[in-house]
Structure 1
Amino acid sequence: MEIRSPSGVVVGVDGSQHAATAAEWAAREAERRACSLHLVYAVETGTLTVPARSGAAVTDLLLRNAQELLDRSLAEVAVAHPRLRPTGDVVPKDPAAAVVTAAEHAELAVVGTRGHGGFASLLLGSVSLRVCAHAGCPVVVVRGGTGDGHQVLVSVREERDAEAVRFAAREAELAGLPLRVLHTWSPVVADVAHAAPMMDELGEESDLHRQLLRRTVDPVRAEYPGLDLEAEDFAGPTAATLVDASADAALVVMPRHAPAPRLGLRLSTASHAVLHHAHCPVAIVPV
């Protein structure tokens, strides 16, 4: 079956409460963006271990059940958001691959924290992590609250993260919220007891980080002149700072850098920590 690649917002659903919450968030986002909404329901039929004679019948039953659940989700979205005309597909494919493929030309992909296949003890399911790591567009994981906070947060590590700042600026503008840009860094001089002889060097290092933040943020500030934008840099752990700040946020935005050759991670350690522990939805933006 060919998977459609719509250009608006794509959301993965599976009949779970986590997916329903993600679909509601995605519907509101599609309304804000004035774009289409497409639901993807994936069914892994290739992993069935049944006799060949009954395999086709079981596959057909799984697909029919999936279509019924998808139709129910589409109806719920249509009732709650009458201005939208949501579409959907049942896809006989691995869920993460199905969402990544469907979102190939999308503005945004949305997933829940975990679906029916996840363990209750897990903070984030493998499907959500894989979509975040491999999607070609920004991905929002709807976790914690529904994002009724008072600001949008975005993390900046280096100048190429300007693309994540632009995404966050648009989200803040659409939501009518201020944007807070955070650049955290670890000083070379970590031992305060021995730092006195190197305070000049520490001051110079701090100046370099302020300059980096200014170069990254100023072009975006010029693109969004009416946006309330605050940029801060300070020495401290990125993940802990963002998780703490997320308690008052509607959305946390993290950049995703291209992996290093061979064993490079697709998602940074900080991104993993924020995805697992943030108090609000988290967006992962490829830069």
Structure 2
Amino acid sequence: MEIRGPNGVVAGVDGSPSAAEAAEWAAREAERRGTGLHLVHAVNTGTVTLSPRTGIAVTDLILREAAELLDAVRSTLEAAHPALRITADVVPGDAAEAVLAAAEHAALAVLGTRGHGGFAALLLGSVSLRVAAHADCPVVVVRGADHPEGPVLVAVHDERDAAALRFACESAARRGLPVRALHTWSPVVADVGRMAPVVDELGEEAELHERLLRRTCDPVREDYPDVALEAHQLTGSTAATVVEESRTAALVVLSRHEPAPRFGLRLTTPVHAVLHHAHCPVAVVPV
């Protein structure tokens, strides 16, 4: 295993087109951050059930082919990014666990939507979902089209999302892009038959959400004076709104609030939906 510096970017690769796109995205991000890139290719050698001698030979062959694949990916990235320091490991074992282990001291983990395994009809692979649900660092799932001139879009539910907003501002600052903060909510009306009170109640509720949005955004805006940060409140579904807005975004940033247990996928419904349907890369930030 190669020694790598902390706070770099980690990317999971497996030879799939999706992983290749994610590795290239990760390389550009590492350059923007001025850090190194570490590639991880996990291979499962635990299913070899032949005789011990044959099993060892097959395992060696699997690991050798994995190393050749990883070398090819690394060479392609080095040719495109000659100034970038790139390290790489072949890790026997589960892919999600390998990426999670490599990302323990990383600043960012990057994955594609899905690899070679699983069912082709699925929109997002289990490895990407597991890493997004459990990583200690932000995770970017590279999907959809890259809109380099679009804004960095961040979903803001409440003041706990300030960390995700800061991540969005940092990402935007590196790219010279604006940030668009979206706060969505659904009106709560007790009596739909009384129109005047309903209008008043909606106005009061909108003002409460506006104040919440200002409390969350204003301190972050002060810390990033060079980033154009626009804040908007909209009524409707968070997932549907963010997915639609992602059509022209460079990056979507979402919070992962609840600490997830080691097993199981504890992503909230909006995060899960956006990861599956967004039209651009999605960052999931643990807060």
TM-score by length of 2: 0.94
Gaps spanning 5+ residues in structure 2: where? none
Change (3 A) 1:209 1:43: same
Matched-pair contact (CA < 8 Å) for 1:44–1:92: yes
| Alignment partner, residue 248 of structure 2 | 248
Give SS of 2:227's match. coil
**RMSD across aligned positions (CA):** 2.1
Number of the residue aligned with 1:160: 160
Cα pair distance change 1:47/1:154, threshold 3 Å? same
Question: Counterpart of 1:33?
Answer: 33
Say if 2:124 is the partner of 1:104: no
- Residue number in structure 1 paired with 2:176: 176
Q: Give distance in 2, aligned partners of 1:222 and 1:131.
A: 32
- CA shift, 1:119, in A, is 2.1
Change (3 A) 1:195 1:157: farther
Cα distance between partner residues in 2 of 1:128 and 1:281: 12
Q: How many residues align?
A: 286
8 Å contact from structure 1 (residues 3, 91) kept in 2: no
Q: 1:117 maps to what in 2?
A: 117
| 1:252 Cα deviation from its structure 2 partner | 0.4
Q: Percent identity?
A: 67
Match in the other structure for 1:268: 268
| C-alpha displacement of 1:85 | 1.6
- Aligned equivalents of 1:149 and 1:37: distance in 2? 24
Change (3 A) 1:215 1:264: farther
Matches within 5 A, 1:1-287: 6-189=6-189, 196-259=196-259, 266-287=266-287
User: Residue by residue, what CA displacement relative to the aligned partner does 1:7-34 show, whole Å, maximum 9, x if unpaired?
Assistant: 2000000111111000000000001111
Which stretch of the first structure deviates more once superposed, 122-131 or 252-261?
A: 252-261
- Give the CA deviation at 1:187: 1.4
Q: Does the CA contact (< 8 Å) of 1:152 and 1:251 recur in 2? A: yes
1:196 to 1:55, Cα distance in 2 relative to 1, 3 A: farther
* Offset, 1:77: 0.5
Give the alignment's TM-score, normalised by structure 1.
Answer: 0.94
Cα distance in 1, alignment partners of residues 19 and 255 from structure 2: 24
Counterpart amino acid of 2:154? V
Q: What is the Cα deviation at residue 266 of structure 1? A: 2.1
